[in-house]
Amino acid sequence: MSDLEAEVARLRRRSERDRLARIEAEHLLESKSRELYEALEGASVARNEAQILTILRTTELTEANRQLAAVAYTDALTGLPNRAAFEAELDTVFDNPALRGKVSFVMVDLNELKAINDTMGHSGGDSTLKVLARIMEQVCATLPGSTAARLAGDEFGLLAVGSEPAEVLKAATLICDLAYERIPSGASVGLACSERLGELIASPSELLRYADAAQYQGKRTRSRRPVVASPDALDAPMPTALQRRAFRGLTAESEQLFADIAERLDSLTERDVLSRLACAAEVLLAPANVSAWAISTVAPGSGLFHTLLTESSGLSDEHRDSLPHFFGVTGDYFIADYPVAARAALGRVEVVRAADPSCPPEERDYLASGGFEVMVMSGGRDAAGSLWLMEAFSTSPDFPAEIYALPFRAAVAMAITSSTPLPIPAKR
């Protein structure tokens, strides 16, 4: 027999032994399985119940842990991921060098939440936050690879990974548009893109800082469009804690101002709206160095603002003499020509800056014609159905209109709601 034939014969014998071993193992496994089955069948009912109870408890514990994890990473009010979930996602992104250069963050801050809570109650504030949350979800669905979260009380964020900066800007613009469409006070939006800022964004905190600086700039200028962070965004002085609270209407100075206005209104014998608005203006405008102010009204069914009272003592004689004919004397102007003023007369507070291209041109032209830089407006409806509008003007481009806006709005509302409607003075 050759060596090859001997090797073949050896392998065949080995294969046969393996086959017989498998057959024996299968018989043994079947026998042991039968013994195990019989043993389980003969086990006591108490033991079976204990096993079942252990399984149930394990399942319940697993579900409880799952629910706790969900609670830990979900905002209870809006149902969005919370800050902890957002930061975990952001850390994961920055741990991946391939993603770090393709991440963008949109910071969204609901405007005037404090005023909403004061006028509509906290239930109204909660409802408004939910509206903004649904907007964030809606926009997030249009941007693949993005995550929306509620970061703090009135702050939301959208994290986009892998999207082009132009796509993220489009999403941020949609947030602005929907916010001003569905929420009277709108929202301020800032955007930071690591692709645009390059080496300046080396950590999650730096991305957040740039987006926050852009958002603050949008809030300060009351922009209705997202502000995109530039490389020098952090060079501008950041707001102090007091200034941030002021944008939400929480300053002690505001509270004292409200108290002073309430005291003056309580002591005022005149109950008509015009007198009470003029009283509020005297208290409100003096400490703010306002250059001029005006009070107008709209009779029910009318399409005209009728200016009743103006004051320009804060202007120089030369400036006062150069004012257009419609300022300094009573007059009329069409509501349709001034949409921002029309919104203000319905109870909102509006800021118009002559240098802000996002403001309607007719409102900016009105400011420029009077030599003013900034205008703050607010109003409301009295019990007789007439609309009222109070406007404050400043010649300084640095006038802190956004900090001033909430006290201004509250003072106007206080004067109107505490009044007794009287016939509007006849036009001259």
Hey, where are the domains in the chain?
Answer: 3-72, 83-247, 252-417
Mean pLDDT of 21-40: 66
Type of residue at 260: D
pLDDT value of residue 191: 94
Q: Which of 105-119, 239-253, 335-349, 355-369 has the lowest mean pLDDT?
A: 239-253
Burial of 121 (0-12, 13-18, 19+ CB in 10 A): exposed
CATH number for 252-417: choose from 1.10.3300.10, 3.30.450.40, 1.10.760.10, 3.20.20.80: 3.30.450.40
CA atoms within 13 A on the CB side of 253: 15
Q: Please give the sequence-ordered ranges of beta strands (E in DSSP) within 211-267, or none if there are none.
A: 227-228
Q: What is the mean pLDDT of the chain?
A: 78
Task: Determine the pLDDT at residue 349.
Answer: 84
User: Do the domains 83-247 and 252-417 sit in the same CATH topology, yes or no?
Assistant: no
The whole-angstrom separation of Cα 194 and Cα 371 is 41
Instruction: Please count the CA atoms within 13 angstroms of the CA of 6 that sit on its side-chain side.
Output: 3
Kindly report the pTM of this predicted structure: 0.48
Question: Beta-strand (E) ranges in 253-361?
Answer: 292-298, 304-311, 332-334, 349-353
Q: Which two tokens stand for residue 420?
A: 């007794």
Task: Quickly state the pLDDT bin for 249 (edges 50, 70, 90).
Answer: very low
pLDDT for 187: 92
Helical residues (DSSP H) of 95-112, grouped into ranges: 97-100
- The pLDDT-based confidence of 427 (bands split at 50, 70, 90) is very low
The position carrying tokens 């509206």 is 131
Segment among 139-143, 206-210, 287-291, 336-340 with least mean pLDDT? 287-291
pLDDT of residue 390: 92
Cβ-count burial of 333 within 10 angstroms (0-12 exposed, 13-18 middle, 19+ buried)? middle
Helix, strand, coil share of the chain (percent; to 5): 55, 15, 30
pLDDT for the residue numbered 336: 85
- What is the rounded distance in angstroms from the CA atom of residue 246 to the CA atom of residue 254? 8
What is the sign of the dihedral through the CA atoms of 208, 214, 219 and 223? negative
**pLDDT attached to residue 301:** 86
**Architecture of the structural domain at 83-247:** 2-Layer Sandwich (3.30)
CB neighbours of 156 closer than 8 A, spacing ≥ 6?
80, 107, 108, 109, 110, 132, 133, 136, 148, 149, 150
pLDDT in tens, 121-131: 788 888 899 99
Which DSSP state fits 196?
H
> What percent of the chain has a predicted confidence (pLDDT) above 90?
18
Residue-level pLDDT at 132: 95
Least confident interval from 16-25, 50-59, 107-116, 201-210: 50-59
Angle formed at CA 76 by CA 73 and CA 78, multiple of 5 degrees: 100
pLDDT for the residue 292: 84
Of the candidate ranges 245-259, 331-345, 384-398, the one whose mean pLDDT is the lowest: 245-259
Contact 286, 392 (CB under 8 A): no
Does the pLDDT at position 171 exceed 50? yes
Kindly tell me if the per-residue pLDDT of 63 is higher than 80: no
pLDDT above 70 covers a percentage of the chain that reads 70
Rg (CA), the chain: 35
Q: In the sheet where 349-353 sits, what is the strand order?
A: 332-334, 304-311, 292-298, 387-394, 374-381, 349-353
Tell which residue, 80, 398, 71, has the closest CA to residue 220. 398
Q: Looking at residue 327, what is its pLDDT?
A: 59
Residue 111 identity: N
Confidence of residue 241 (pLDDT cuts 50, 70, 90): very low
- Higher-scoring residue by pLDDT: 53, 339: 339
Residue-wise pLDDT for 398-408, tens only, equals 777 766 777 78
The whole-number pLDDT of residue 421 equals 53
Q: Is the pLDDT of residue 364 over 80?
A: yes
